[in-house]
Structure formats: C-alpha cells, structure tokens
Structure 1
Amino acid sequence: MADKMNNVRWFSMALKALIILAENENRCPSGQLAEKLESRSVYLRKILTHLVKADIIGAKEGRDGGYSLSKKPEEIQLSEVYEAISAETVAKDYFETEGKHCFSRESQLSLCNLQNEMESWILEGLRTKNLSDLIDQ
C-alpha cells in the first residue's frame, strides 16, 4: 500500500511544481524547483518525467536547461496531470478483503465497485478544473 500512497504524494507534488512553473517565465531547473518545494531533486525528477512524457511540461538539458509548461495553464486539466502520473487518491487495495472470510463474494464485489465509482468521481471532478484555477490571478 505504500507504493499506492506515494502516488497521492506525487499528484500533490506535481500540482505544486506546475504552479511554480506557471508563475515562472523562464525555465526552472529541477534543483531550484526542489528547493522551492522543500523536496529532493531526484524524487522530483521522477515525477516531472511523467509530466514530460504526457507533454504537460517540456524539459531542456544543459547549462540553460530546466522545465517549463508546454501549454497555457488554462489548457492543463487537473485530470490530465492525475492520469499522467497514474495517481490513485483511493489506493487500489483500499477495500481489499482477500483472506477475510467474513465478507461474502457479493460484499467483496460491492466494495470493489464502490472503489471504482470513487475513482471515477475523482476524475470527473478533476476534469472541471485546470491549472489556472490553482494560480493566484
């Protein structure tokens, strides 16, 4: 379950990094981002890699390198960020009942369905928000 909970932290860290990038006109190196977020560069780069692959941010290597948004803040849906890092605000084994004989098959299925519904509610809500909603205008 620890891996699942890390995804929640990754989503939070990704959003915070995106806010900093949105408010920064120049490229921002991972070290500078990590310092502002009071995080380690290595940890942050793992998260940023997912955002680069999803074309939410761009990365440039070298002395003048760093990260910057690939899109305008109003074009970045929070659901896009959530899906890019495979975040799970509800860990997949949240309602896990394997090996617990007090739960009937129907109860196990109901809990699994509830978990899937919760995940869809979260995504549905995140689709109504974009990065500009999180930035002081």
Structure 2
Amino acid sequence: MTKTRSSGAVQHKSFGLVLQALVVLARKGDTCSSCEMAELLSSEATLLRKTMAKLTRAQILVTKEGRDGGYGLNRDPEELTLAEIYQALEAGEVCSKAGNDPMCGNVPGERMIDACSDIFAEMDRSMMAVLEKYSLADMVRKSGC
C-alpha cells in the first residue's frame, strides 16, 4: 500500500481554483453554471462542483436550478475573507496535517509529531491570520480580470 506524502498541495490547488471561480462570480454579479466556469477556468466541471458544494454548505454560495441556474455569491465580496473561504473548503490546518503524514507509523515518527506539533500549529495560525486580512473583493481588484 502506497501512502501519499501530503494532501496539502491538493488542498492549495483547490483553494486557488475556488478563488478564481469566486472572482468570476463576483465580477459577473449573477449566477454562473459550473460548466461555464469550468470552461473559463480550464478546469473540469465535476471538480468545480465538488469544491463549490463545500462553499454552498458554508452558505458562501447559493445555487439556482433550471436553465439559467448555477452558483451565485451569497455574501458581499467586501465582507467575505479568504480565511472563511479556506475554512469552508476544509483545508484548514494544512501544515499540521502535511507535517504529520510522513512521520506516522513508528516510534521516531510519533516523537517528531510531538516535537513539531506546536510549530505546525503556529504555522497554521499565521497562515489564517494572513488570509483574514484579505477579502474576495481584494482578489477581484488585484486580479484585474
């Protein structure tokens, strides 16, 4: 059985994709289907739907069914922080998880987890503090798209 080294890269990739999709929604100001967004972002609609479902559960997005349906923002982009988006994706504490993954399974690994846990937790808090400083509206302005 092969163990993956870290899921952190996948979570960061999903976060980047979702940020792009949310910028599209914020600029459009209306609903947008997953197929339309996937085409704009050169992604797969099924992957996008999977990640957008998490944002819908967190009430960051709303969905509209029907011919003109799709996803729409349920929050003001000025008030929606990147930290909230990141947490909705269940990507929080990536440093802790990524650091622990390759160390598990033996006594030295367990000791390293104990030795590093405070450092990884501090890294997670630092990252969230940075993400709290920025809103979706900031990303719309910065991206210039």
Same fold (TM over 0.5): yes
1-structure distance, mates of 2:56, 2:110: 44
Amino acid at match of 1:134: M
Q: How does 1:46-65 map to 2 (within 5 A)?
A: 46-65=50-69
2-structure distance, mates of 1:127, 1:71: 16
Displacement of 1:93 in angstroms is 3.4
Q: Which runs of 5+ in 1 are unaligned?
A: none
**% identical aligned pairs:** 31
Instruction: Name the one with the larger helix percent.
Output: 2
Q: TM-score, normalised by structure 2?
A: 0.83
Displacement of 1:8 in angstroms is 1.4
Q: How does 1:79-98 map to 2 (within 5 A)?
A: 79-88=83-92, 89-90=94-95, 92-95=97-100, 96-98=102-104
Q: Once superposed, what is the RMSD of the aligned Cα atoms? A: 2.1
Q: TM-score, normalised by structure 1?
A: 0.87
Aligned residue number for residue 72 of structure 1:
76
Do 2:6 and 2:98's aligned partners in 1 also have CA atoms closer than 8 Å? no
Change (3 A) 1:8 1:91: farther
2-structure distance, mates of 1:33, 1:108: 40
Displacement of 1:91 in angstroms is 5.8
**Is 1:110 aligned to residue 115 of structure 2?**
yes
Among 120, 127, 133, the alignment partner of 2:125 is 120
Change (3 A) 1:27 1:108: closer
Q: Which runs of 5+ in 2 are unaligned?
A: none
